[in-house]
């Protein structure tokens, strides 16, 4: 009986640890996705998804060293995101260290992961914009 209880507690603890780890891993990109699809997310009037549906065209943005959008060329993903927020969404730039920015970056990085799983690596170059 004692062995059973110990095993039971051990398994329960394991489940807890895994579910916490799972949630921590998945929450930021989920929150980022919600912001990405929300036209009012940054005080703007259109959503990121209206120009980048489902993050299309941003699959490689998590891995770059230089980013481009119609407002210019940027040395960090955070700056590129803020440029699209202010120029395209007509919203307010967010703090590069804010949780919102971390969530957006996490979402954009997750797009690259999806691409790897579901697409052939050398697919033809479509921009998708």
Residues in contact with ligand HEC by CB under 6 A are 46, 48, 50-52, 58, 61, 64, 67-70, 77, 80-81, 84-85, 88-89, 104, 108, 127, 129
Q: Token pair of 36, please?
A: 């990405």
**Residue whose C-beta lies closest to ligand HEC:** 48
**Smallest gap, in angstroms, from Cβ of residue 124 to ligand HEC?**
15
What's the min distance (Å) between Cβ of 25 and ligand HEC?
Answer: 21
Residue 116 C-beta: closest distance to ligand HEC, Å: 16
Please, which residue, 6 or 95, has the CB nearer to ligand HEC?
Answer: 95
Minimum distance of ligand HEC from residue 17's CB (angstroms): 33
Nearest to 33 by CA among 55, 60, 62, 50: 55
**Cβ nearer to ligand HEC, comparing 25 with 75:** 75
Which residue's CB is nearer to ligand HEC, number 1 or number 124?
A: 124
Q: CA of 18: how far to CAs of 12, 46, 80, in Å?
A: 10, 37, 34
Q: Where are the alpha helices (DSSP H) in the chain?
A: 2-37, 48-51, 77-83, 99-118
Cα separation, 54 vs 33, whole angstroms: 9
Q: 79 near 30, Cβ under 8 Å?
A: no
């Amino acid at each position: 009986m004692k062995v059973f209880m110990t095993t039971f507690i051990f398994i329960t603890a394991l489940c807890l640890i895994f579910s916490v780890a799972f949630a921590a891993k998945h929450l930021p990109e989920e929150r980022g996705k919600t912001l990405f699809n929300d036209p009012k997310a940054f005080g703007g009037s259109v959503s990121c998804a209206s120009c980048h549906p489902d993050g299309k065209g941003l699959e490689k943005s998590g891995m770059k060293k230089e980013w481009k959008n119609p407002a210019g060329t940027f040395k960090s993903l955070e700056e590129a995101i803020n440029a699209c927020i202010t120029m395209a969404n007509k919203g307010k730039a967010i703090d590069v260290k804010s949780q919102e920015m971390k969530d957006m970056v996490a979402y954009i990085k997750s797009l690259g992961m999806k691409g790897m799983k579901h697409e052939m690596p050398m697919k033809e170059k479509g921009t998708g914009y």
